[in-house]
Amino acid sequence: MSSSNASADKTSSPDATGSAPEVHAFQAETRQVMRLMVHSLYSNKEIFLRELISNASDALDRLRFAGLQNPEWLQGDSDLRIEIEADTESGTLTVRDNGIGMTREEVLENIGTIAHSGTRRFLEQLEAGQKADRQQIGQFGVGFYSAFIVADSVTLLTRKAGTAPEQGVRWVSDGEGEFSIETADVPGRGTSVVLQLKEDEKEFLQHWNLKQLVQRYSDHVGFPIHLRRDPQPDGDKAGEDGEWEQVNTATALWALPRNELSDSDYQGFYKHLTHDVDDPLCWAHNTVEGAQSYTTLLYVPRKAPFDLALQRDERHGLRLYVNRVFIMDAAQHLLPHYLRFVRGVVDSQDLPLNVSRELLQENVLVDRIRAAVVRRSLDMIGKLNEAGGDEYAAFWKEFGTVLKEGVVEDPDNRERILPLLRFESTRDADPADMTDLPAYVERMTEGQDAIYFITAEHAQAAANSPHLEVFRKNGIEVLLMSDRVDEWMMSYLHEFDGKPFKSVAKGDIDLGKLSQSSPDADEGEPESGQLDEDLIQRIDACLGDRVSAVRASQRLTDSASCLVLGEGEMALHLQKMLQQAGQPVPGTEPILELNASHPLVERLAVESDEERFEMLSVLLYEQALLAEGGSLEDPAGFVRRMNRLMTVGPATD
Ligand SMILES: Nc1ncnc2c1ncn2[C@@H]1O[C@H](COP(=O)(O)OP(=O)(O)OP(=O)(O)O)[C@@H](O)[C@H]1O
């Protein structure tokens, strides 16, 4: 859990003794989060209970961990638990834990400020009117504030473990913009959150309702949750008034054998772990016993966090336990970067309890666990892939581009990753119906010895690229790639299943016997013509160092021109992107290929007016550049040339 250092604005002067309440204004962002929360999550309003229980369980986890160093903190009260108490008379609901508690400074730091900078970025996106799913707000550190969905006011009473009763803190707010804080006598260690429920939220005082909610969302929280029957209940079982009842299983779910767990157990635990409102797409639960023993429980969420692509997902990593003692959240070293969307738990029996983030980086046991986590994650995604259908399509849509990073980042697992990739292609199919590499190879025409692909800035630019013409004509399938990572990924990817990858926009293309042998090929079409050497030289001279050479194309059937790069050169659209980002780009001089049988090229061959010849030559180059997604050095000049050529007769201005 990360927390902001910024503290809320103070609006009234403090009493040095701390006996009078201090009033503070919430940060503007916190107010915004609360407003959003109340509106966006209203339809899932019962999640507030899960959030408060989750905070309580975290506090107990942290106490248990801290208790290893400070056993006296647990003395006299070592029965770690969460209590929920409803009082119909006063209309309050209390969630209490005897966990780590908070000092006054910690309350000021944690409650009333935005815990995660991810929340801030999320708000920025919403403000900028960008598409962000309002439900995603639940993914960030907004747990505590969800109490205001159902409460008119919230009182938090807390006392840090190891401090005296009079060092307790009372924090009160109606969620409208201010909160008050004062020192208070708090007899026991830990935190109580008291919700004064809104008039129309009194359903959350009903015993059966609370019990059902705890069982649905928090059954496998690793601490007992006790629910107290209201002292003045609905009158059904008056004899049990005021009795405490444990309502959850309170076992660490991952420590149970798989055959004792149902889908809804796994789903409920996922929601507890991630605060997600949706069920996960899939999960994998494994226990390894032997020289090294550990359990992994991994999940793939249904939706990506909005900033996944920006590589700034703060929740990246797994929750690490050692012998069921919680050690840390977001243990990033347990997951490679390209699997940053995987959520879950690792529980090791062999790591030392005092393992730190630094130690994780250089521990051979951790390296082995990480390798197993990667394998299990890829297997889990592989099974989803084998099942096919909408679930895998949903996975691919959310996480496909991130998984592609693995091709470069994790060469050892490349063979496992490649069959999981999906691509659009030129084959005759619904564009939503993407292909994978094994299926492409299966469809390769007889005599085809390469997997052809094209990278472009957009899907449309890829699908309409002139480079595809000869392939279309000969019925040879080409993979269409337009993700930002594609060009980078393909520069590391040399073959699949023994077949080399070949860009249709780079190097020489010699379809050789394929142009005859393809069943879809049009019979009797003339081969691309040849260009007169003199003509080539004249065009080359007009274009100067814009191109490295001019030649007749084997690729084009309809378009007049296209640009071709050397095998190892960076695609023009990527060069443009890097340039726009202010990055240095190695200069490339592409080859201009001309379609000798195109009327424009034929006209060029007979053009006697030098000025028009030059304009036409440059236009052919510029057209090719545009079709490629490149940007023109001189757009105004392009327009002028076009206009001149479209008007009858030679230019006159
Ligand atoms: N019962 C509690 N005991 C001790 N500390 C708490 C308790 N509840 C909240 N806190 C502190 O307040 C912080 C903010 O809580 P909040 O629920 O808003 O966000 P979070 O728990 O960090 O994120 P999320 O709820 O999304 O996991 C927590 O990180 C924790 O430090």
Quick one: 60 and 189 in the same domain? yes
pLDDT in tens, 262-286: 999 999 899 888 878 889 999 999 9
Using DSSP's 3-state secondary structure scheme, residue 84 falls into strand
Quick one: 263 and 232 in the same domain? no
98 within some domain: yes
Lowest pLDDT segment from 34-38, 86-90, 440-444, 611-615: 34-38
> Does 97 show up as a binding residue in the annotation?
yes
Quick one: 477 and 367 in the same domain? no
Distance 143 CA to ligand 1 centre (A): 7
565 within some domain: no
278, 270 Cβ separation under 8 angstroms? no
* Ligand 1 atom nearest residue 62's Cα: 4
607, 620 Cβ separation under 8 angstroms? no
pTM of the predicted protein model: 0.75
Most confident of 115-124, 289-298, 360-369: 289-298
Say if residue 217's pLDDT is above 50: yes
Nearest residue (by CA) to ligand 1, atom 29, is 1
579 within some domain: no
| pLDDT value for 118 | 59
* pLDDT cut 70: percent of the chain above it: 84
Tell me, using a 6 A CB cutoff, whether residue 53 lines ligand 1.
no
561 within some domain: no
Tell me, using a 6 A CB cutoff, whether residue 115 lines ligand 1.
yes
List the CATH number of the domain containing 408: 3.30.230.80
Quick one: 163 and 88 in the same domain? yes
Lowest pLDDT segment from 435-439, 492-496, 527-531, 557-561: 527-531
Distance 352 CA to ligand 1 centre (A): 26
Q: Would you place residue 381 in the very low, low, confident or very high pLDDT band (cuts 50, 70, 90)?
A: very high
Query: Residue 142 belongs to what H/E stretch?
Result: none
Q: Is the dihedral of CA 421, 424, 425, 428 positive or negative?
A: positive
> What residues contact 112, with CB distance under 8 A and at least 6 apart?
7, 8, 24, 26, 27, 30, 171, 173, 179
> Does 110 show up as a binding residue in the annotation?
yes
Task: Select from 120, 144, 319 the residue to mutate for testing ligand 1; criterion: most ligand atoms less than 8 Å from CB.
Answer: 144
List the CATH number of the domain containing 434: 3.40.50.11260
Average pLDDT over residues 422-445: 88
Distance 341 CA to ligand 1 centre (A): 22
Quick one: 108 and 28 in the same domain? yes
Tell me, using a 6 A CB cutoff, whether residue 400 lines ligand 1.
no
| pLDDT value for 254 | 95
Say if residue 290's pLDDT is above 50: yes
Quick one: 247 and 294 in the same domain? no
Rounded Cα gap, residues 296 and 291, in angstroms = 16
Determine what percent of the chain falls in helix, strand and coil, rounding each to the nearest 5.
40, 20, 40
571 within some domain: no
Q: Would you place residue 51 in the very low, low, confident or very high pLDDT band (cuts 50, 70, 90)?
A: confident
| pLDDT value for 114 | 59
List the CATH number of the domain containing 606: 1.20.120.790
| pLDDT value for 243 | 86
Nearest residue (by CA) to ligand 1, atom 14, is 110
| pLDDT value for 516 | 53
Nearest residue (by CA) to ligand 1, atom 20, is 141
Say if residue 416's pLDDT is above 80: yes
> What residues contact 161, with CB distance under 8 A and at least 6 apart?
63, 66, 67, 70, 73, 74, 99, 100, 101, 189, 190
> Does 471 show up as a binding residue in the annotation?
no
| pLDDT value for 354 | 73
Compute φ and ψ for 327, nearest 5 degrees. -110, -50
Distance 201 CA to ligand 1 centre (A): 23
628 within some domain: yes
Tell me, using a 6 A CB cutoff, whether residue 114 lines ligand 1.
no
Nearest residue (by CA) to ligand 1, atom 13, is 110
Average pLDDT over residues 287-312: 82
pLDDT in tens, 606-653: 988 999 999 999 999 999 988 877 778 889 999 998 888 888 554 444
> Does 51 show up as a binding residue in the annotation?
yes
> What residues contact 246, with CB distance under 8 A and at least 6 apart?
224, 225, 226, 227
Say if residue 245's pLDDT is above 70: yes
* pLDDT cut 90: percent of the chain above it: 52
Compute φ and ψ for 511, nearest 5 degrees. -80, -10
| pLDDT value for 220 | 79
Average pLDDT of the chain is 84
Lowest pLDDT segment from 330-339, 341-350, 513-522: 513-522
Say if residue 238's pLDDT is above 70: no
Quick one: 59 and 83 in the same domain? yes
Lowest pLDDT segment from 3-17, 160-174, 240-254, 435-449: 3-17
Nearest residue (by CA) to ligand 1, atom 28, is 110
Rounded Cα gap, residues 410 and 415, in angstroms = 10
The DSSP 8-state label assigned to residue 230 in this structure reads: P
* Ligand 1 atom nearest residue 100's Cα: 4
pLDDT in tens, 437-461: 999 999 998 889 899 999 988 888 8
> Does 288 show up as a binding residue in the annotation?
no
Q: Would you place residue 403 in the very low, low, confident or very high pLDDT band (cuts 50, 70, 90)?
A: very high
- Torsion-angle region of residue 288: left (phi > 0), alpha (psi -120 to 50) or beta? beta
| pLDDT value for 568 | 78
Quick one: 466 and 540 in the same domain? no
187, 98 Cβ separation under 8 angstroms? no
Domain end point (choices 251, 276, 310):
251
Rounded Cα gap, residues 270 and 266, in angstroms = 6
Residue of higher predicted confidence among 239 and 225 = 225
Nearest residue (by CA) to ligand 1, atom 8, is 55
> Does 117 show up as a binding residue in the annotation?
yes
pLDDT in tens, 574-592: 777 777 778 887 777 889 9
525 within some domain: no
Nearest residue (by CA) to ligand 1, atom 7, is 55
Average pLDDT over residues 372-396: 94
The range of the structural domain enclosing residue 551 comes to: 531-555+587-653
> Does 141 show up as a binding residue in the annotation?
yes
393, 450 Cβ separation under 8 angstroms? no
Total domains in the fold of the chain: 4
Tell me, using a 6 A CB cutoff, whether residue 107 lines ligand 1.
no
Domain end point (choices 195, 220, 251):
251
426 CB neighbour count, 10 Å cutoff: 20
> Does 402 show up as a binding residue in the annotation?
no
Quick one: 37 and 157 in the same domain? yes
Nearest residue (by CA) to ligand 1, atom 26, is 141
| Tokens 């793939």 sit on residue | 300
334, 361 Cβ separation under 8 angstroms? no
| pLDDT value for 380 | 97
| pLDDT value for 526 | 41
Rounded Cα gap, residues 613 and 606, in angstroms = 9
Nearest residue (by CA) to ligand 1, atom 19, is 141
Degrees (nearest 5) of the Cα angle 178, 182, 188? 120
147 within some domain: yes
| pLDDT value for 239 | 44
pLDDT in tens, 147-191: 998 999 999 999 999 999 999 999 999 988 899 999 999 999 999
Degrees (nearest 5) of the Cα angle 436, 439, 443? 135
Distance 247 CA to ligand 1 centre (A): 23
Say if residue 544's pLDDT is above 80: yes
Distance 178 CA to ligand 1 centre (A): 19
> Does 143 show up as a binding residue in the annotation?
yes
Quick one: 353 and 500 in the same domain? no
> Does 501 show up as a binding residue in the annotation?
no
Lowest pLDDT segment from 5-14, 39-48, 628-637: 5-14
Tell me, using a 6 A CB cutoff, whether residue 144 lines ligand 1.
yes
Q: Would you place residue 19 in the very low, low, confident or very high pLDDT band (cuts 50, 70, 90)?
A: low
Domain end point (choices 392, 414, 436):
414
> Does 191 show up as a binding residue in the annotation?
yes
Tell me, using a 6 A CB cutoff, whether residue 59 lines ligand 1.
yes
Side-chain-facing half-sphere of 150: CA atoms under 13 Å: 24
Distance 253 CA to ligand 1 centre (A): 22
Q: Would you place residue 27 in the very low, low, confident or very high pLDDT band (cuts 50, 70, 90)?
A: confident
The DSSP 8-state label assigned to residue 312 in this structure reads: -
Say if residue 527's pLDDT is above 50: no
* Ligand 1 atom nearest residue 101's Cα: 4
Nearest residue (by CA) to ligand 1, atom 1, is 56
Question: Which two structure tokens, joined as six digits, stand for 243?
Answer: 């009795």
Distance 144 CA to ligand 1 centre (A): 6
Tell me, using a 6 A CB cutoff, whether residue 97 lines ligand 1.
yes
Distance 307 CA to ligand 1 centre (A): 22
Q: Would you place residue 490 in the very low, low, confident or very high pLDDT band (cuts 50, 70, 90)?
A: very high
Nearest residue (by CA) to ligand 1, atom 30, is 110
Quick one: 259 and 191 in the same domain? no
| pLDDT value for 388 | 81
pLDDT in tens, 134-154: 555 555 555 788 899 899 999
Residue of higher predicted confidence among 553 and 38 = 553
Quick one: 410 and 536 in the same domain? no
Nearest Cα neighbor of 175 from 50, 44, 37 is 37
Strands 318-322 and 424-425 turn out to be: unpaired
> Does 102 show up as a binding residue in the annotation?
yes
Burial class of 535 by CB neighbour count within 10 A (0 to 12, 13 to 18, 19+): buried
Nearest residue (by CA) to ligand 1, atom 27, is 141
Tell me, using a 6 A CB cutoff, whether residue 1 lines ligand 1.
yes
| Tokens 């907004």 sit on residue | 142
> Does 607 show up as a binding residue in the annotation?
no
| pLDDT value for 377 | 98
Nearest Cα neighbor of 36 from 134, 129, 118, 130 is 134
Average pLDDT over residues 569-573: 80
Q: Would you place residue 5 in the very low, low, confident or very high pLDDT band (cuts 50, 70, 90)?
A: very low
